[in-house]
Amino acid sequence: MSENITRRKILIIEDNQTTSLIYRNYLGKEFEVTVVDNGAEALESFQQHMADLVLLDLNLPDIDGIQLLQSFREIDKHIPIIIVTGDSSYEQVSKALHLKATDYLTKPIDRGRLNVTIANAFRDVRLTKRISHLNSSSKPYIFHGMVGRSPAITTIFEIIKSAAKSSASIFITGESGTGKELCAEAIHLESDRRNRPFIALNCAAIPRELLESELFGHVRGAFTGANTERVGAAKRADGGTLFLDEIGELPVDLQSKLLRFIQTRKFQPLGSNELVAVDVRFVCATNRDPHEAIAAGILREDLYYRLNVLPIHLPPLRERGDDVVLIARELLKAISLEENKSFQRYSNAVESVFRVYKWPGNIRELSNTIRKIIVLNDGDVITPGMIPSNLIEPRQQITQSPAEDSDQATVNPLQPMWKVEQEVILMALKHCDGRVRKAAKLLEIDPSTLYRKIERWNLKV
């Protein structure tokens, strides 16, 4: 066994003297061993923090071992506790593992298995402390509302910082839901225009016949229904930043007017004969491939090259690694507050599902999913049973056999609980490169429990 655990204290709770002597023989040279033969003495010793690890026989003369384990866990949630049972009662072992027993052994005790189990327990303690330290010392990197630590996104942060210093037009591309408007706001906030207006216009969300008025404004009487003057986005953004989202949705004739506006910084409101001069910084975005849009005649080539002075491409969420968890945690805090709910965190199993799922709708899909979970559930922790089934398995993967009743639906959106559990375990194992103990920690279950499930289901690791 490792020198790192030499002379650590082990509390052994065992009422059989012969077994106690065996323990001392096995462990006495490497550890400081204390043996007690009843629950009352064990609880007193434990309360005085006289051990680094506990070896607990579940069959004691004065107290139920499960009850003692529960008392131990109320005092210390992290000390490794290995339970020992004279039989292999699944019910007893299951209760103990549910109460966060670290591992279990059955009598008669094999020396090699005992040593390995203890070594693994101490190794897990070191790993847990290391993870806890890293989690407390490395806060998610939040850059003007954009969250992430992956190289894919921190590179974008640096590009934004550099690009914001210029007054050149910026063209942002990326799949729908990747945070293009948030990126545009970050550019504005990093620029010298931060104290001036940031005006966003979503060209895909406005009826085409109203787009020119929304962009350039109109005077009273410019068209039927124009009973008052309207100041457009271009004028409202004077001195600041004008963000045109989904630029490819602008009608081609309006794109030509936008091009002249970009070249001259002057425009005519609808129904007016006067030119209005403004000072704006242009940031545009699209979820289309610009070159395909140009080839299809949807986007004017000269407009694209006028806007695409400083290009920024936002990566999809599936390419950002653990950023999905960091973003999900921030969303959980914000949405729980909005919805007046008490959720504090996700279980490790849920975070594992978040990491593996591809998120075709990117951050927008993640946000909508979390809001749905929060609205439909209550509690402090989001658990696997609360998450939509499509995150675990595609909706149409489970179909009925031809022999089944043809009147029934051919797609079953629900799965048996064991199937969901199996899928989550396989995801965790894949995420941990097949390392069972690491996967068990991620799923917040005991390694021995995970080993049994792998063996029972004959899973390939």
The confidence score (pLDDT) of residue 407 equals 37
Which positions ≥6 away from 241 have C-beta within 8 Å?
184, 187, 188, 191, 193, 196, 197, 198, 199, 280, 281, 282, 283
Q: What is the CATH number of the domain that holds 170?
A: 3.40.50.300
**Distance (Å, rounded) from C-alpha 13 to C-alpha 46?**
10
pTM, 2 dp: 0.58
> Rounded to the nearest 5 degrees, what angle is found at the Cα of 428, between the Cα atoms of 319 and 156?
20
Q: What is the CATH number of the domain that holds 431?
A: 1.10.8.60
Q: Specify if 21 maps to a domain.
A: yes
Residues facing 399 on adjacent strands: 411
Tell whether 258 and 305 lie within a shared domain: yes
Q: Which domain holds residue 417?
A: 323-457
7-11, 39-43, 122-126, 413-417: lowest mean pLDDT where? 413-417
Identify whether the C-beta of residue 241 lies closer than 8 Å to the C-beta of residue 279: no
The confidence score (pLDDT) of residue 4 equals 44
- pLDDT tens, residue by residue, 146-183: 999 988 899 999 999 999 988 999 999 999 999 999 99
**Distance (Å, rounded) from C-alpha 433 to C-alpha 426?**
10
Q: Specify if 212 maps to a domain.
A: yes
Identify whether the C-beta of residue 424 lies closer than 8 Å to the C-beta of residue 443: yes
DSSP run (H or E) holding 241: strand 241-245
Q: How confident is the model at residue 259 (pLDDT cuts 50, 70, 90)?
A: very high
Q: Specify if 211 maps to a domain.
A: yes
Q: Please determine, for residue 130, whether its predicted confidence score (pLDDT) is greater than 80.
A: no
Bridge pairing between strands 198-202 and 81-85: unpaired
Tell whether 161 and 310 lie within a shared domain: yes
14 vs 447, more confident: 14
**Distance (Å, rounded) from C-alpha 458 to C-alpha 189?**
55
Q: What is the CATH number of the domain that holds 32?
A: 3.40.50.2300
Tell whether 188 and 233 lie within a shared domain: yes
Tell whether 82 and 200 lie within a shared domain: no
Q: How many domains does the chain have?
A: 3
Tell whether 303 and 371 lie within a shared domain: no
Tell whether 56 and 166 lie within a shared domain: no
Tell whether 43 and 129 lie within a shared domain: yes
Residue from 46, 15, 40, 9 nearest 27 by CA: 9
Single residue among 280, 315, 350 that ends a domain in this structure: 315
**Distance (Å, rounded) from C-alpha 101 to C-alpha 121?**
10
Q: State mean pLDDT over 254-278.
A: 92
Single residue among 137, 166, 185 that ends a domain in this structure: 137
3-state secondary structure at position 54: strand
Tell whether 123 and 18 lie within a shared domain: yes
**Distance (Å, rounded) from C-alpha 400 to C-alpha 89?**
38
Q: Specify if 142 maps to a domain.
A: no
Tell whether 246 and 369 lie within a shared domain: no
DSSP 230: B
Single residue among 137, 164, 192 that ends a domain in this structure: 137
**Distance (Å, rounded) from C-alpha 280 to C-alpha 262?**
9
- Strands across the sheet containing 81-85: 32-36, 9-13, 53-57, 81-85, 103-106
21-30, 84-93, 356-365, 439-448: lowest mean pLDDT where? 84-93
**Distance (Å, rounded) from C-alpha 149 to C-alpha 210?**
41
Q: Tokens in use for 136?
A: 């407390």
Tell whether 311 and 330 lie within a shared domain: no
Q: How confident is the model at residue 2 (pLDDT cuts 50, 70, 90)?
A: very low
Tell whether 54 and 70 lie within a shared domain: yes
Tell whether 17 and 129 lie within a shared domain: yes
Q: Which residue's structure tokens are 């942002």?
A: 172
Based on the number of CB atoms within 10 Å of its own CB, is 27 exposed (0-12), middle (13-18) or buried (19 or more)? buried
Long-range contacts of 212-217 (CB under 8 A, 24+ apart): 212/254, 212/257, 212/270, 213/270, 215/254, 215/258, 216/257, 216/261, 216/267, 216/268, 216/269, 216/270, 217/269, 217/270
| Torsion on CA atoms 230, 236, 241, 245, rounded to nearest 10 | -20
